[in-house]
Structure 1
């Protein structure tokens, strides 16, 4: 692998990492929970951060009827996404830098395929060599399966890839797959995640450049 092509690929989480959808997701969860007469509190907001739709449904219902609630959550979330989403600072510029360097980008999301496809319309599907959504691998995050699936489809060793994440669930998934991980978030919000081996914290996507990506892979 040439230095120009290192890392082999950069694999991005979607919600809260590339696009500002966290409030939309919370609003969708609140709407569904209120409709089930199971109102959420502020502690639930933190618990739901980064969860898949399946796990969020279990959190809201405690288990019974979770499958039906998954559909309700997906519908409530996609309804909000149809009004448009905002890409986070540095997202498009970083994707364009990777393209210019010949480094493929992949999208690895815990969200269902309808949600992923809606967001790709905003971010631009042409930026990504592939996308992995909920159901595209045997298990969702925090299991390693989504990142393993993305690396396998690209034909790369996960250890040659860098994952960009923003939640404990996503970091656990990427790290257990063997990827180097960048966790993005304001100072203080990622301190509990960046201490793990192979995990580097940055405040925004604007802090990520090719020299950083190459250093991370060289440490693997």
Structure 2
């Protein structure tokens, strides 16, 4: 049975592109907001994407190499799909492949979305303490809206999708947009990510990062904390990442 998070009533639901003035300004000290990745961080769906990619390319007469999984994980659809087209030589356009992959992935998530261990507890805690929270994903809006139904839309003040920004991860744009939408300073936002691509985006935005690797390992670095599971992450832990302003 798939576990889901009960929708919290303390956070407003704001789906779609972030607009100026959309969220209230928060206190300009200590931890101001928490920004969360989706696939592989909150929901156990990285394997869903890989299965979808393998199935679509099998239909096209190609077999994907397992070593390619580390290349395509966590990135924008255009990068992942483009790499697989080039690697296999498949006779399909990027636009056509994107449609097929999204459709195959949607088929899988309609059967239920498994949450990562610790995800439900963390979202409840953030909502209970009224911590401004955003979902920041490289997945397209059509995918995010379906997954958020399992996570509880009211647990997020806003969501940012990969097809709503000119440059998605590994560029900092999605996290800068989320921070601005929450009225927070990037340096006072804690980000939770599971891939090197997402970590690069968050760090480029100036956020403090907790990496919870899902598929490929992520090395520790200055200003970055690496943990084994989301079960090790709670509000008290996230607050330790930010240096309070006197």
Extract unaligned runs of 5+ from structure 1. none
Alpha-carbon distance between aligned partners in 1 of 2:85 and 2:128, rounded to the nearest angstrom? 46
Shift of 1:53: 1.5
Equivalent position of 1:214 in the other structure: 239
Equivalent position of 1:126 in the other structure: 154
Give SS of 2:111's match. coil
Equivalent position of 1:202 in the other structure: 227
Alpha-carbon distance between aligned partners in 2 of 1:138 and 1:180, rounded to the nearest angstrom? 23
Runs of 4+, deviation exceeding 2 Å: 35-38
Superposition pairs for residues 38-77 of structure 1, below 5 Å?
A: 38-62=62-86, 65-77=93-105
Kindly indicate which of the two structures has a greater share of residues assigned to helix. 1
Question: Is 2:137–2:161's contact at 8 Å kept on the other side of the alignment?
Answer: yes
Larger CA deviation: 207-216 vs 82-91:
207-216
Shift of 1:38: 2.8
Alpha-carbon distance between aligned partners in 2 of 1:168 and 1:203, rounded to the nearest angstrom? 15
TM-score for the superposition, normalised by structure 2: 0.82
TM-score for the superposition, normalised by structure 1: 0.91
Residue 144 in structure 1 maps to residue 184 in structure 2: no
What's the CA shift string for 1:36-72, capped at 9, x where partnerless?
A: 2232011111212112211111011129711211111
Alpha-carbon distance between aligned partners in 2 of 1:144 and 1:159, rounded to the nearest angstrom? 13
What's the CA shift string for 1:173-213, capped at 9, x where partnerless?
A: 00000000000137x954x432x221101111111122221
Larger CA deviation: 53-62 vs 166-175:
53-62
Equivalent position of 1:193 in the other structure: 219
Larger CA deviation: 99-108 vs 208-217:
208-217
Residue 34 in structure 1 maps to residue 73 in structure 2: no
RMSD: 2.2
Structure with higher RCO (Cα < 8 A, 6+ apart) = 2
Extract unaligned runs of 5+ from structure 2. 1-25
Equivalent position of 1:11 in the other structure: 35
Alpha-carbon distance between aligned partners in 2 of 1:164 and 1:51, rounded to the nearest angstrom? 15
